[in-house]
Amino acid sequence: MNPIRVLFPPSLGMPKAHARAELVESSVAQALGRPVSVTVARDYNELIRSTLAREADVVWAPAGVCGRISSMAKQVFRVVRQGRTQYRSAVIVRSNSKLTIDNLGAARGVRAAWVDPHSLGGYILAQELFRRRGINPALVFGEQTFMGSHPEALAAVTDGRAELAAITAWSGEDHDVRAALTMHVGPLESRLGVLAVTDEAPTDAIVLTYELDAEGCAAFEKVLDTTPATTPAMLQSKKRTMLPSAMGADRYEPTSIDTYIQLQRRLSGSIAPPR
- Gap between the Cα atoms of 129 and 150, Å rounded: 19
135 DSSP 8-state letter: -
pTM of the model: 0.86
Q: Find, among 172, 222, 167, the residue nearest to 192 by Cα.
A: 167
172: Cβ contacts below 8 Å, ≥ 6 apart: 88, 90, 197
Burial 202-239 (b: 16+ CB within 10 A, else e): bbbbbbbbebbeeebbebbeebbbbeeeeeeeeeeebb
Burial 109-139 (b: 16+ CB within 10 A, else e): ebbbbbbbbbbbbbbbbbbbbbeeeebebee
68 DSSP 8-state letter: G
Q: Find, among 241, 244, 183, the residue nearest to 31 by Cα.
A: 241
- Gap between the Cα atoms of 53 and 56, Å rounded: 8
Q: Which domains does the chain have, with CATH numbers?
A: 4-83+203-266 (3.40.190.10), 86-201 (3.40.190.10)
Q: Find, among 120, 191, 119, 125, the residue nearest to 156 by Cα.
A: 191
- pLDDT tens per residue across all 275 residues of the chain: 789 999 999 988 888 889 999 989 999 999 999 999 999 999 999 999 999 999 999 999 999 999 999 999 999 999 999 899 999 999 999 999 999 999 999 999 999 999 999 999 999 999 999 999 999 999 999 999 999 999 999 999 999 999 999 999 988 899 999 999 999 999 999 999 999 999 999 999 999 999 999 999 999 998 898 665 444 443 444 457 889 998 989 999 999 999 999 998 888 766 655 65
234: Cβ contacts below 8 Å, ≥ 6 apart: none
Instruction: Indicate the residue type of 243.
Output: L
Contact call for residues 121 and 166 (beta carbons, < 8 A):
yes
Which helix (H) or strand (E) segment holds residue 201: the answer is strand 201-202
Strands 164-169 and 86-94: antiparallel
